[in-house]
Amino acid sequence: MKPTKKPLVAIIGAGIAGLSTAYTLSKSGIDVVVYERERHVGGRMSSRTKDNLVFDYGADFLADNYETLKLYARELGVEWISTMPGGRHRVIKNGIPYYLDAPGIMGLLNLNILTVTERLKLTLFALKLRFFYPDLSLFRLYDVPTRYDTDTAMNFLTKTVSENAMHYIADSFTSAMQFHRTDEISSAALIAHFKMKVTPGKDFDLRYIKGGIDSIARAITKKVSVHTDSPVSRVESEENGTARITIDTNIKTVDAVVIATNPYDAAQLLPQATYAQRTLFEGARYASTIVVSFKIPITLFPDDTHCTYVPYIENTLISGYTNELRKGDDQRSGDTTLMNVYIHEARAKELMNSTDSEIFTLIREELNKVSPEARNATLVPHDIHRWPYAMPKFYHGWPTTVADFLTNHQGKNNIYLVGDWLCAPWTEGAALLGKKTAEHIIAKLQ
């Protein structure tokens, strides 16, 4: 009796979504090959080291409720570590920092950036979420009931609490983490995020991984076959249920293809895209940003600040900045560490073709307005990275569209789509969707 040939799956894109898919498939015994057009893996979960300092120029942090990535770190022997004690978050209002040290629902009453009435309304909203809403996961936004995908987050929080709360709580967080405004994020995302914040054991207890944010991605490449500097130009379905991919002039036949790129590249790869796939590609939206890193003295933030949010209403250029020292000693070189600064979407698009020197100069000047510590400090330009497609926008109506696709059209003609843009926010959401997609493929092929 001839041995059964093992299925072969090709994955295009070695970001965390593609690598999570590959890792899960490989553990099940399915043969996997990953093709990445860049010379490095990790996608937007990437790092580079310069002057003995690790610059995380994509995703900047992890959290203890990132269960998928935490599991991978444990299985792959990657050190999952706590940030240094005391890392605080704050928001800038009128040039003054207000701390967001509000653990638990009742801690919302201490948010002095809001009026007493606003704090009470926000606390009542949180109590309602905690006890009367079903379990919601921001990382599985495609699973959030469509009845919550009813409005923009901007309108929803303005009506629920106040315009002030929208600007300094929701809009400041969205601007810092997504680089765009709350008028382009669904109420479903806001509800899911607040639900997570007020559910015990689900909060953002920040974590980091030794050696840079791309350590898990690099560790996965030791377990699966990954070809970097290998752009795929075409993906086609075959009538016999297989698929084929074109790399340069070579054609490879596989049992399934997982496209783990941004939607715009995916559309170029799929000339035979189905109507549902084309609709998805055309509906996707992305925010741009530029990450600008300065060397700073390790003593610059004596209050142990880790992350500062800058609402658009306060500054149309800088959306936030981080004190990288809070991650630990590998973010320190002598008496210096890094301060990473992020740019709002609209200005990032304007500055995308500016020189590094022009951007550094402009950011340095604006920091005087939004960072009390920077006004009289020596900040040395360190590194810079431009992201035309930095973060997907989970706008009103998009979660419902994606949910329909994943339920009714995912895997059509043995072609699968994964990535955070499919309402799987941040690195954890992308990894989780990759794992879920792999399990779907395993059930189908084995």
Mapping DSSP to helix (H, G, I), strand (E, B) and coil, where does residue 331 land? helix
How confident is the model over 300-332, as pLDDT tens digits?
999 889 999 999 999 999 999 999 998 887 789
- Span 349-356, mean pLDDT? 98
pTM of the model: 0.95
pLDDT of 101 higher than 80:
no
Task: Read off the pLDDT band of 1 (50, 70, 90).
Answer: very low
pLDDT of 416 reads: 98
Residues 141 and 425: beta-carbon distance below 8 Å: yes
Nearest 10 degrees: Cα torsion 296, 315, 183, 124: 80
pLDDT of 234 reads: 95
pLDDT of 3 reads: 47
Phi, psi for residue 354 in degrees, rounded to 5: -75, 160
CATH of 8-45+213-284+395-445, one of 3.20.20.70, 3.50.50.60, 3.40.640.10, 3.40.50.300: 3.50.50.60
Compute the distance between CA of residue 272 and CA of residue 280 in angstroms, rounded to an integer: 14
pLDDT of 122 higher than 70:
yes
How confident is the model over 273-295, as pLDDT tens digits?
999 999 999 999 999 999 999 99
- Span 21-49, mean pLDDT? 96
Compute the distance between CA of residue 294 and CA of residue 349 in angstroms, rounded to an integer: 21
Residues 114 and 164: beta-carbon distance below 8 Å: yes
Residues 317 and 362: beta-carbon distance below 8 Å: yes
Give, for 237, the enclosing helix (H) or strand (E). Answer: strand 232-237
How confident is the model over 37-56, as pLDDT tens digits?
999 999 999 999 999 999 99
* CATH classification (class only), 61-84+205-209+286-392: alpha beta
On average, the pLDDT of the chain sits at 93
pLDDT of 2 reads: 43
Give residue for tokens 């207890």. Answer: 205
- Span 169-194, mean pLDDT? 95
Contact partners, residue 409, CB within 8 Å, separation at least 6: 274, 276, 277
Compute the distance between CA of residue 353 and CA of residue 275 in angstroms, rounded to an integer: 35
Compute the distance between CA of residue 117 and CA of residue 134 in angstroms, rounded to an integer: 27
pLDDT of 267 higher than 50:
yes
pLDDT of 261 higher than 70:
yes
